[in-house]
Structure 1
Amino acid sequence: MPTIIVVVSLMVGGGLLAREFYRVPDQQPDAILALPSSTARPLGQQPGPSTVELTPDAAAHPQHEVIRLLLQTYFDSINNRNYNQWQTTVTQARIQTKSRAAWLQDFESTKDGSILVYRIDAVSSQDLRVLLGFTSVQDPRSAPQELPGASCVQWKLTLPVTLESGHWKVDTVAGYTTPEAIKC
């Protein structure tokens, strides 16, 4: 009888251990998942929703929710013309390159939407690169230099994100990346 109890106990313990080992991890409920759309929105519906969404690839990164919230605040600050809020999302180096007056002028008519994070890559323990796309509408007089007169632009770029004072911040965009901009 004692042998049977030992054998059954080992089997139950082994079964519980195997169940935990092979268990499929729970889906992250806080990640807003989306797939790149192959259909364009009509011009009248641009720029699309202002919610930052993640592809499944981006959502697999351990820092995905922190980065999603950072970018949500970043884009909300632009859409709401809130320079003080924008300053909370960027590094000191980036703040020093953009005065309040210049920032307000740059974004005076900008509205961003259809924001999708494709990928988050670690460069180091303190630096990430975030590949994202978004749509921006603005007064044609405020169009980017590469697309004069454009009232709607679809952007794809890599944003550097750096750990500064214990918080992830959008850093200055260095010369290693060239944003892709196409007219809607």
Structure 2
Amino acid sequence: MTAQPRPTSRQRWLIPVLVVVISLTVGVGLLARDLYLRPEAAPTEPVVSASPSPVAPDAQPGSPAVEVTPDVVAHPQYQSVRQVLQGYFDSINDRDYAKWTSVVTRERAKTKTAVEWKKDYQSTRDGSILVHRVEPGAPGTLRVLVAFTSTQDVDDAPVYLPEGCIRWRLVLPLRLESGSWRVDTTEGGTNPEHERC
């Protein structure tokens, strides 16, 4: 009786083929990820300050750059908050209604027509902007404590403080809308802190 060779097992060649196919798939996937991954924009260095820098009276309102406290830098949304507030104050300083509507909620944008908005801010310049705190509000909202200085013609100043230079301290509500943070409407009856420069 002679020994007959065993029939070749399908499993012997199937396992190495599967290992090669899976390895190639993983390799191609990693290569595609590296090729198509868009580089993230490098975050800008925050301007961190514990308090606003003193500004000479003739240099008011100060720098238009939004600065933040160390407490704010530690907040996970600080970069988004700083960017939306920078856009908000830039729109006022540049008299750019279209830009303003891009950084406020639809609800807030409905409160002012372009003509009303331009009249309200026709001589306003904002600066010495410092974000002191960012806190969560209701789901999808943040409350941002911000201080800034505004200069304006006395005729354009609020009727309750007709001054050419005012220091403000207020809470701005932010709402997540269409995937980005935007400045929301303030609750009726809110009274921001303000004083003459």
**Same fold per TM (> 0.5)?**
yes
1:1-184 alignment, distance < 5 Å: 30-37=45-52, 40-148=54-162, 150-175=163-188, 177-184=190-197
Deviation at 1:173, TM superposition (A): 0.9
Q: Secondary structure at the match of 2:89?
A: helix
Q: Secondary structure at the match of 1:174?
A: coil
User: Following superposition, which runs of at least 4 residues in structure 1 exceed 2 angstroms of deviation?
Assistant: 28-31, 39-42
* Aligned residues of 1:158 and 1:177 also touching (Cα < 8 A): no
Deviation at 1:42, TM superposition (A): 2.3
Deviation at 1:29, TM superposition (A): 6.3
**Normalised by the size of structure 1, how large is the TM-score?**
0.80
**Normalised by the size of structure 2, how large is the TM-score?**
0.75
* Aligned residues of 1:30 and 1:65 also touching (Cα < 8 A): no
* Number of positions where the alignment pairs a residue of Structure 1 with one of Structure 2: 155
1-side partners of 2:71 and 2:47: how far apart?
A: 12
Deviation at 1:40, TM superposition (A): 4.2
Amino acid of the structure 2 residue aligned with 1:41: V
Which structure's CA Rg is the greater one? Answer: 2
Any unmatched runs of 5+ in structure 2? 1-42
* Aligned residues of 1:109 and 1:139 also touching (Cα < 8 A): yes
* Aligned residues of 1:31 and 1:64 also touching (Cα < 8 A): no
